[in-house]
Amino acid sequence: MINFELIKLYMRDFMSHIESEVSFTEFQSAIIIGKLDNNERKSNGTGKSTISHAISFILFGETPAGVSIDEIIRDGQEHTVCYLDVKIDNDLYRIHRKRGKKTELKLFKYINDKWEVEDRRTNTQTEDALKKLLKINYDTFKNTILCAQGKLSEICEAKTGLERRKLLKEPLNLAIYSKLQKISNDRLQETNKKLELDKNSLLSLGNPDIDIKQYNNLLNDNSICISNINTDMEQNDILLESKRNTLKSLENLSNSDVKTITTQLSEINVTKRSINSSLSILNNQYSKQTNDKNKYINEKSIKDKELIINQTLLTELEIKIVRKDEEINKDIEEYDAREQRGIKYIAQLEIDFEKYSKPLPDGAQCDLCFHEITDDYRKSVTEDHVKKAKELSTQIIGAKEKFEKIKNKKILLKNELKESTQHKFSLERSKSSIKSVNDKIDEINKFIKKLEEDINATNNLLEGKKQELSILENKEKDLNDALGKCNSEKETNDKLLLIKNEIKELDDKKKQLINNLSSESSKKGSYEEKIKNRTADKIALEGLNDKIKLLEKEFRIRSKVMRAFSPTGIPTFIIHTILDDLQIEVNNILQDFRPELSIQFKIEKDTEDTLDIIYMQNGNERKYNLLSGGQKMYFSFAMRLGLKKVIEKQLGINIKFLELDEIDAPLDEDGVEALMNIIRKIQHEYKILLITHNSSLKHFFTHAIVVENDVINGSKVNLIYN
């Protein structure tokens, strides 16, 4: 624990002060009063509170509410200079701030009987060094060290638990957790959206490995078929070329009629080739449309299976028996109540144990019961106290064991509540997946219906072309018959007819081979494209799986972070931890002030709006509004001083200074007497300054700081020994 003490304050041209100096080593407690134009009855506006403002400005660079940084410079002056000498453990430091056109901050350390400036290049670096040295921020400082009028009894006089928690949050610097909760919740929702999108994408990809294997087998068979067709086409082209050369030789031997018929046959042949080409294109188009339809039918089959799986999962989730959240929360609330009763019970046992563990006072008379302390009485009471303390120790151990079982049961109930929440989430996700699959099936059905319409149209075109081809073939047959009749040489005519038929068969075979090659080539392209797409899907699937794992891990972490930053998370844990220590500290302080007074904190459940204070006198509960002015002062001051001690213990620093700014203004005589009694009891531990308008309180103090102010010269400080 680091000890922090004020040694000396110096300020020049700071607000109303010309040049003032306060040496804190000359007194332990002092009253600060004002004198305006040499009249003690006029003390407003003299600059009493400026002492406090100067300390805040030097330590933290803060100015009074409503006063800008440039307004702290005394009217008519170009700059102000202030410094504060402080002792931190055994080291002496000087914190020096100057404000002119800009702020200058320097940190000195007293080494070898002289002040040496800390080697810092910028104000920012010096500010960082000062923060590490002080270990306390301005909000905590003003809420624990500086007690202004109306602030001392805020926690005690708060009407609701929510108000009390808010008053604790500022000195404990817990407001940051509300911002952190909102940020973490936004990031959690963002992660959840990404996770749902990726999971839906994962379901739509199916199993690429099975499809790739199937398409590779089909592609292998397709390659063999294409190779065989190419071989057949080469042999057919060689034979066709030979037959055409023979036909040309025979045609030269025919008469003119033969040539006319041959010309017509040639034209028919050209027309037939055009029709066959159209048929080939239409056949390819029909094949592609049929393949696309089969693809969508297969895809629909996969989606149908996926739908069945999701519907089965939904049925399993819907029939799963899960307790309602209300029932689980009711059990949690019951165990919360039992836990709080346990805390209260253990705290009371520990107070009783501490009471019976203390030895009798060293006087001739007991401070509590005023009984004369004889040797026999001391021996008898000591034995009775030892016995009672031993019984209380056994009761405390047993109570803590039961308390631990209650806490474990609460953990189990919270896990059950978490599983219930997960069950609801799984139900919603399953319903969402079913809707997504149904939408996809509807989309596929639309594609299939459109393809069926296209296939029917293509088939009608095919039938029309086939009819045209049939008519040409009948005409070709008639021309061939006429050619045979008008040929003068029977043998030549027979040869011509035979050769033409052979050529026709070879042409038809070539066309069929071309059609087959085109069909197989289309299949090859389709298989290669499908393999390419499914390979890409496989890579995407692997990436999605990895991404989903990372997102699920991120979601779990972000959920924990959000719960930690929520009002029932870290802030409640900190407040609950603080309350245990605060209750002990406040009761210890009250034991020194008024042993018959004590408090207990009561928290019904882990919510943000519950924090009650039970005020007790001689173990009996008392309402705060029925307490006397003095009792309220004792409770309020003990609460503020206890909070100061708890926070300083956490920070590892003991600031031996208290400034009380006009806190006596609303007090009655009983309250004022209590305040003076408190100051007398704690002034050995803290340097105390009381700012007041009541100059009659001077007789309670050995020293008075008089702040004199006149219109011409401004304010100055005089330390007076009473």
Domains and CATH numbers, the chain: 1-135+652-722 (3.40.50.300), 210-306+444-523 (1.10.287)
Whether 360 has a pLDDT exceeding 90, the answer reads no
pLDDT at 452 over 80: yes
Top pLDDT among 37 and 492 is at 37
The DSSP symbol for 616 reads E
Nearest to 261 by CA among 466, 500, 489: 500
Q: Which two tokens stand for residue 420?
A: 């219930």
Residue 14 zone, left/alpha/beta (φ > 0; ψ -120 to 50; rest): beta
Q: What's the mean pLDDT in 505-513?
A: 88
Tokens encoding 547: 């991404």
Q: How confident is the model at residue 487 (pLDDT cuts 50, 70, 90)?
A: low
Q: Which tokens go with 633? A: 């002062």
Indicate the pLDDT class of residue 47, thresholds 50, 70 and 90: confident
pLDDT tens, 546-576?
A: 888 888 888 888 888 887 777 667 777 677 7
Task: Tell me what pLDDT residue 362 has.
Answer: 67
Name which of 30-44, 50-64, 292-306 the model is least confident about. 30-44
Confidence of residue 534 (pLDDT cuts 50, 70, 90): confident
More confident residue, 611 or 491: 611
Mean pLDDT, residues 51-73 taken together: 91
Report the C-alpha gap between 251 and 151 in whole angstroms.
125
pLDDT value for 608: 54
pLDDT tops 70 at residue 22: yes
The 10s digit of each residue's pLDDT in 675-693 is 888 888 888 889 999 988 8
Residue range 505-512: mean pLDDT, rounded: 88
DSSP 360: P
What is the DSSP annotation of 366-397? -TTT--B--HHHHHHHHHHHHHHHHHHHHHHH
- pLDDT, mean of residues 198-225: 87
pLDDT for 569 equals 72
Mean predicted confidence (pLDDT) in 639-650: 86
Which pLDDT band, with edges at 50, 70 and 90, does 604 fall under? low
pTM comes to 0.51
Q: Say what percent of the chain tops pLDDT 90.
A: 19
| pLDDT tens digits, one per residue of 3-15 | 999 999 999 999 9
The stretch 235-246 carries a mean pLDDT of 84
Task: Report the C-alpha gap between 517 and 101 in whole angstroms.
Answer: 90
- Whole-number pLDDT of residue 367: 52
For residue 42, pLDDT beyond 90:
no
As a whole number, the mean pLDDT across the chain is 85
Q: Is the pLDDT of residue 41 over 80?
A: no
Say if residue 333's pLDDT is above 60. yes
Dist. CA 41–CA 674, nearest whole Å: 25
What are the backbone angles phi and psi of residue 110, rounded to the nearest 5°?
Answer: -85, 110
pLDDT at 496: 75
The pLDDT of 129-143, averaged and rounded, is 85
pLDDT of residue 402: 92
Q: Over pLDDT 70: what percentage of the chain?
A: 91
Predicted confidence at residue 566, as pLDDT, reads 75
Q: For residue 83, what pLDDT band results from cuts at 50, 70 and 90?
A: very high
* 721 pLDDT above the threshold of 80: no
Q: Which residue has the higher pLDDT, 550 or 610?
A: 550
Q: Return the sign of the alpha-carbon dihedral for residues 218, 219, 224, 230.
A: positive
pLDDT, position 151: 74
pLDDT at 363 over 80: no
